[in-house]
Amino acid sequence: MPTTTAAQRREQARVEYDAFIRSCPTNQLLDRISDKWVSLVVCALSPGPMRYSELSRKIAGVSPKMLTQTLRSLERDGILARTVTPAVPVRVDYELTPLGDSLSLLLAGVKNWAETHIEQVHEARERYDAEADG
Amino acid sequence: MPTTTAAQRREQARVEYDAFIRSCPTNQLLDRISDKWVSLVVCALSPGPMRYSELSRKIAGVSPKMLTQTLRSLERDGILARTVTPAVPVRVDYELTPLGDSLSLLLAGVKNWAETHIEQVHEARERYDAEADG
DNA sequence: CTGGATCCGAATCGATACTG
DNA sequence: CAGTATCGATTCGGATCCAG
């Protein structure tokens, strides 16, 4: 007789669903842009190219580790291009690709929605929290 | 002389920047919709109301804890409404509010971008990984 | 200047068991 | 049916040190 039934079946469902989710383009994209630093980097780069140290200063609170990590993954995804200029102090520039520009446009849409509706969200929160108090 | 300099200054910058980020509506929204389950719940609910157990089944891999947590925060933000019908087995329905509908529209836009561009991302990844190999 | 490697603490997720 | 409480596992992010 089976020592596992419900647990195994649920585990199975979880794995399958996980695969489904990961294969969904929307979720892949959400996973990507949801990263805390991604939108900031894309936003920072949208006016034009920037050096590593410039980004590091503009984004302020980011650690070298996270900045590099973010930059690398965005480069891998074709969102931005990395250009190394071999000099005595090495110079590295980051620049949005056309795909990156397109993404920054989408982000602008998100930003627009956020600015239009965030107040409603805040009001809803206050109502909700007020009820919780009473 | 100070034993802390760079670290302290960065810490300070981090705190300030953190405040800036959190006050930014776009980031607030991104934080919200980036949650693994949020988009799934909104998507599941967009055709119409659903009961807790229906959601639980439709979203499959979610644990009760995460489902409740997601539902609660969405309710707090005015994205969905929770309706309790006192009966012998209690009945609870969840339904998108107008704000939630609006959000699901935005999500549709995101989905559209994702489906249009995800292939480019995949191609970029393959190129990148191929270079890494060689 | 531009990062890579490592360690560690915090936060988060998920499974399980239990309640009304 | 609709959750809540708890605990363990995992993951993430930051600090630090080091290298090209």
- Please say if the pLDDT value at position A117 is more than 90: yes
Q: CB of B92 under 7 A from strand D?
A: yes
Query: pLDDT value at position A60?
Result: 85
For residue B6, name the pLDDT band (cuts at 50, 70, 90). low
Q: Cβ contact (<8 Å) for A128 and B25?
A: no
Report the greatest alpha carbon distance in chain A: 71
Query: pLDDT value at position B2?
Result: 45
Residue A10 distance to chain B (closest CA, Å): 7
Closest residue in B to A118 (Cα) is B25
Query: pLDDT value at position A12?
Result: 76
Residue B1 distance to chain A (closest CA, Å): 24
Residue A78 distance to chain B (closest CA, Å): 5
Determine the nucleotide nearest to B36 by Cα–C1' distance.
C13
- Compute the average pLDDT of residues A68-97: 96
Confirm if A101 and A48 have CB atoms less than 8 A apart: no
Query: pLDDT value at position A72?
Result: 95
The residue ranking higher by pLDDT, B104 or B7, is B104
For residue A22, name the pLDDT band (cuts at 50, 70, 90). confident
Residue B114: exposure state from Cβ atoms within 10 A (0-12, 13-18, ≥19): buried
For residue A11, name the pLDDT band (cuts at 50, 70, 90). confident
Query: pLDDT value at position B22?
Result: 83
- Please say if the pLDDT value at position B114 is more than 50: yes
The residue ranking higher by pLDDT, A8 or B113, is B113
- Please say if the pLDDT value at position B92 is more than 60: yes
CA of B37 to C1' of C20 (A): 27
Query: pLDDT value at position A2?
Result: 47
Element (H, E) at A106: helix A98-133
- Compute the average pLDDT of residues A56-80: 94
Average pLDDT, chain A: 90
Q: How far is CA B91 from the centre of its chain?
A: 26
Query: pLDDT value at position B104?
Result: 96
- Compute the average pLDDT of residues B73-88: 96
Query: pLDDT value at position A4?
Result: 53
- Compute the average pLDDT of residues B6-29: 79
Query: pLDDT value at position B20?
Result: 83
- In sequence order, what are the residues at sequence separation of 6 or more whose Cβ sits closer than 8 angstroms to the Cβ of residue B133? none
Q: CB of B64 under 7 A from strand C?
A: yes
Query: pLDDT value at position A17?
Result: 83
Q: Cβ contact (<8 Å) for A129 and B76?
A: yes
Strands B80-85 and B91-96: antiparallel
- Please say if the pLDDT value at position B34 is more than 70: yes
- Compute the average pLDDT of residues B95-111: 96
Query: pLDDT value at position A101?
Result: 97
Query: pLDDT value at position B1?
Result: 46
Query: pLDDT value at position B14?
Result: 78
Report the greatest alpha carbon distance in chain B: 72
